[in-house]
Structures are given as structure tokens and as C-alpha cells.
Chain A
Amino acid sequence: MMKKELGLFLLLAVISAITGAINPAFLSVVNLLNMANLIGLFGVFALGEGLVIITGGIDLSLGSMFALLGVIFVDLLVTYQVDWPLALLLVLLGGLVLGAIQGFLITRLKMQPFIVTLCGLLIYRGAARYYTSDSTRGFGYGDEASTLGSIASGNVAGIPNTFIFLIVLALILWVLLHRSVYGRWLYAVGKNEEAARFSGINTNVVIATAYIISGGLAGVSTVLFVFYTNSVSPSSFGNFYELYAIAAAVLGGCSLRGGEGSILGIVLGTALLQVLQNLVNILGIPNSLNFAVMGTVILVGVLADQQLQSRRRRKAALAGLARKAPKSTHVQGNHSTTPRGAAALSATTDEQR
């Protein structure tokens, strides 16, 4: 059914097979589990970013949110000796609140998402550095949060908990996006906000909710990352991570114009990014080329997808004409308003059924 996701999955499989053939260590259990862990870590907040992108917006503030919420989280546990369930709750709440503020600015005060979240990126980072006087916060030798730590960074039968969290959250969001009324409205708002408003949908609430979900998932990710690194350095913690999320979402079929994308696509996009990073290490490609490899693959992938889609559409249009010619009741035309962008996107098509 979902051609785009299938294509992405095949690409992932082919790349893995080739890498595995060159260096069998790639397919070793240790390496696979390590990748699963990273996919879990980077996938959770990519899901939120994906929802935001489907509304036609963008969230650039995620990485800085990790830093700010991270230092607060560690401080709550270590300095203030707050019980971990309360600290966890406060961090999740913090993420939701930051998301709500951004959503409010974007929907009520009609500011552009790029500007609002770019300023968020700068403000949260600055606040985190000021709050800690730029010093790294970490856990001492005490066991402030050993229970939570073992939940966040532990594993079940070898499978990293982070990966399990990702699967669970992805399933919940899949139902929300693809099976609930909210998801339907999210797609409508992302493609044609005016149409959605005329249909009686409260578009402001729909959009703001996406930012709030993204903020909440950033809270979850903060906790996972804190226990992954065990310390938070306010100037570098989470740097550029929002770009990983955006890349994963776009690679997974989300259109920056809004209205397109799927949960499965975002998860596969995250997986592909992590496989690429891993492959750079495993194949002995200089580490400094890391980002260049990632950028090249995304560029080529999106380009190939667009070309394939437009070819398929041309074919469909021709077939439509041929079929209709004798009867000539109606012509299957290309009435797309976004000739290039829309091409990338019949993934959602099959899913809307």
C-alpha cells in the first residue's frame, strides 16, 4: 500500500546489506542493538517534529529545549534531591509548557513558526548556559535516580528500552495521526488552512496541539538523553538535534509545505539516518565526512523520489486519457497547485482509506 514507506524500507535494507557485506561487524548483534538504541533516542522527538511539519510549520527549538530541560532535570535530582517521579513529571510538564508557548505565539499572535522556534532555540540555550554558569551538570556517585536511570537506559532481553519507548509512542501517534479525527484535521490544516477553517475546524487548536505534543516528546527525549550521556553540558547538549529530526521527517516523506507525511515514514527516516552515521564509522570513512554523507543521501533520496513520482503521475495521466478517450466524460487532469512539491507525496493517499 504505502509506496513511499516501502521504498524507504527497501533503501534501508539495501544499504544495510551492502554495508554488512563489506564489513560483517555492521550486522553484529552488538552493533545492531547500539543502533536500535540511537534510533530510539533520535526517533522519539522526530515524531513530534513530524507532526509539526505536517501542519506546515517547523520546530527548530528542540535541541536547546533538551539543554534547558536537561540541566533543570539534573539539578532537581542532584541539587534539590527531588524524588524522581516528581522530577520526571516536572520535565515533561516543562516540555509541554514550552510547546504551548510556541503554539500560542504561532497561532494566536500569528508569528511565523520558523521565527518563533528559532528564537526558542536561542533563548533556551542561553537560559541553560546562564542558569548553570556554563558548567556541566551530571550525576555524582550517589544513586539519585537509579530506578529511573535503569528504566531510561536499560534493556529488556537485550532490546534497548529507548527503542521500545519509540515503538510504543509511534503506535500511539500512529492511531492519533492516521485513525483519529485529530489526525484528519492535522492533514487538512497543513494543506489548506482556510478550507479547514471554513469546515468549522478550530485550526488554531489543531496547530497549537502539534507544538504541544512536540514539546512533550522533547521532555521525554530529554530524560532519555540525560541518562544516555549521564551529564549535561549546557553549551553542547542537544546541539543540532532538531536538524536530525527535520531530516528524518523529510526523508520519511513529510513535506515542508505541510499536509503530507506518516508516522512509519518518520521512524524509517530516523532509522536510515542512524544507519548512515553508523556506516561511516564501520566502513572507515573519515568521521569528519559524517554530515556530508548524510546530506548527500537526503538530497539524492528526495530528488529520486520526486522524479519517480512525477513520472508515475505522467503515466497515470496518460493512462487516464487513453481510458477516457472513447467515452470522454471527464479528463483526469493534473490540477495540482504545487506542481513540484505535490509530486513527492502520494504516500498519504493510500493511507487515507
Chain B
Amino acid sequence: MVTSQAAGQPALDKSALNQPVLELKGIGKEFGAIRALHDVDLRVAPGEVVGLMGDNGAGKSTLVKIIAGNFPPSHGEIRFDGRTVHFARPIDARAVGIEVVYQDLALADNLTAAANVFLGRELKRKFGPFALLDHKAMAARALELFGELRSETRPHDLVRQMSGGQRQAVAIARTRLSNAKLVMMDEPTAAISVRQVEQVLGLIHRLKEQGVAVMLISHRMPDVFAVCDRVVVMRRGEKRADKAIGDTSPEEVTSLITGAKEAA
């Protein structure tokens, strides 16, 4: 896990496999006098699933929002794909390959699955000076994406009529469309049935198989231990633990979250 970036670009190919897709160095954030984040270091490798845990107000959301480009950090450096990046707006983060799947899913209920996958990135056909929607191509590509995710979601179905698991599949298919390298998921299993949780965890596995790095923000211990390679625990704006999932236990993580155990 050594990244000698002093040499610059040539080192890139050699260490491409070990190179983290995301690297945070000393990230801090203050809102006025309130210190929301302090000196957070974090590395996420391609195809790695990292669980981000912590109680409410521990700084998880602030960290996610900084990575997603909602606001800049007060201190520290973000490196993505080996380059230092500065995001002024979420679109900048998306442009380099960071996608967020929000808790409320940010889908338009009144449109079909395919329409939602392509929302804002519609495929068009030229008709003289006019560009019209290419429904066929979009439906076909959406079906492909759902197939890759092994989801039974049908492109022509309305999102309104879908289960929570299927909605997650639509939201995740969106990130596949843009070929995101890092997908951050905010409580994807919070509001759905047990059976659908299985589906969503399956989706995360598919992303991993395709070399996508995933950050899973969750309160649900079993889910984190089922899919994550590593777990990062935040408390009071600081990173208190960063352990391989095999080296820790739900009990230890719980005590880290609550503060019963200070650090590990």
C-alpha cells in the first residue's frame, strides 16, 4: 500500500492495483466555531467496500458531503485517482467519477426505471434540427445495466410501483451509467424489508466485482459486516478506528461508536 507519488505519473501504472482511488489527508472542517471534522485520513482502493459508521453527529455526513463536493474542506487534501482534486460543486465530483446514492434516492416517481437511469443524461436521436428522446436505446441500455446488477427491474416499469430494493437498483444503475469509480451509499438498507436488504447487499457485491469502490454509510451492523472489507468508525468528528472486517467484531465497533472504547 505504498504510493510514492513523488516520482509523478510514471509510477501510476506499476502501482495501479494498489493505488487508492480515494485518498484523504488531514481533512478538517469547521462551521464557524464548531469543529465538525478533525484531521481525517482515509484511503479506499478500487473494488473495496468500506463501511463508514458512527453515531448521529459523528461527522459521517460532513465527510461524505466533502467528498461529494457539496462543500470544500477547511483543511487537508483530497486525492482521487492519484491526483489532487478540488470540488466547487457536486457536478465537479461527479465529473471525476464520484457518485452518491442518497437515502431518499433522488428518483422521480412519475417516470419509468429507464427514464430515471438516464435522467439528465438522456440519449437523443437527431431529427433535422431537433433532438428527440431515443426511448429504445435508453430502455435497451437500462436493461443491460439491470442485467449486470442481476436485478429483475424492468426498464418500462414506473418507479412509483417499485419495491425499495428495485429502487436501489435503479439508483445504482445510474452510477454504472456514468462509470463511477467511487459510489457512496447513504443508508441504502434503512427503510426496506429484510428480503430487499439481501437484494441491495447483492447490488453492492456487483459493484465490487466490477472494480468500483463503495463507501457504505450505515447504522446496521449486520449489513456492514456482511459486505464490507473494512470498517471506519467516526466519533466526535474524528476517525477512531479503521480496521479490516476480519480483525474486529460488532461488539468492538459498537463500543467504538458509543465511546465506551476510545480508539482501536
A181 adjacent to B131 (CB under 8 Å): yes
Nearest-neighbour CB distance to chain B for A103, whole angstroms, equals: 21
A-side contacts of B132, CB under 8 Å: 175, 179-180
B-side contacts of A330, CB under 8 Å: 152, 163, 165-166, 195-196, 199
Q: Which of B42-50, B115-123, B233-241 contacts A (4 or more CB under 8 A)?
A: B115-123
State whether the Cβ of A348 lies closer than 8 Å to any Cβ in chain B: yes
A194 adjacent to B106 (CB under 8 Å): yes
B195 adjacent to A201 (CB under 8 Å): no
B163 adjacent to A259 (CB under 8 Å): no
Which of B106, B115, B135, B161 makes the CB contact (< 8 A) with A192?
Answer: B106
List the count of A-B residue pairs having beta carbons below 8 Å apart.
105
**Given A196-B108, A198-B102, are A188 and B119 neighbors across the interface (CB < 8 Å)?**
yes
Chain B residues 104 to 148 lying within 8 A of chain A, measured CB to CB, are 104-112, 115, 119-122, 124, 130-133, 135
A196 adjacent to B152 (CB under 8 Å): no
Residue of B nearest to A349 (CB): B158
Nearest-neighbour CB distance to chain B for A253, whole angstroms, equals: 12
State whether the Cβ of A295 lies closer than 8 Å to any Cβ in chain B: no
Number of interface residues of B (CB under 8 A): 40
**Given A192-B108, A195-B107, are A335 and B160 neighbors across the interface (CB < 8 Å)?**
yes
> For the side of the interface on A, what is the size category?
35 or more
Interface centre among B91, B106, B160, B166 (most CB of A within 10 A): B160
State whether the Cβ of B25 lies closer than 8 Å to any Cβ in chain A: no
Chain A residues 189 to 213 lying within 8 A of chain B, measured CB to CB, are 190-192, 194-196, 198-201
A201 adjacent to B163 (CB under 8 Å): no
A322-341: contact bitstring with B at CB < 8 Å (1 yes, 0 no)?
00000011111111110000
A199 adjacent to B120 (CB under 8 Å): yes
How far, in whole Å, are A342 and B122 apart by their CA atoms in the complex?
25
Nearest-neighbour CB distance to chain B for A160, whole angstroms, equals: 29
Residues of B whose CB lies within 8 Å of any CB of A are 90-91, 94, 102, 104-112, 115, 119-122, 124, 130-133, 135, 152, 156, 158, 160-167, 174, 193, 195-196, 199
| A-B CB contact pairs (8 Å), 5 listed | A181-B133, A185-B120, A188-B115, A199-B119, A330-B152
Q: Top 7 A-B pairs ranked by shortest CB distance?
A: A199-B120, A195-B106, A200-B120, A188-B108, A199-B119, A259-B110, A191-B110
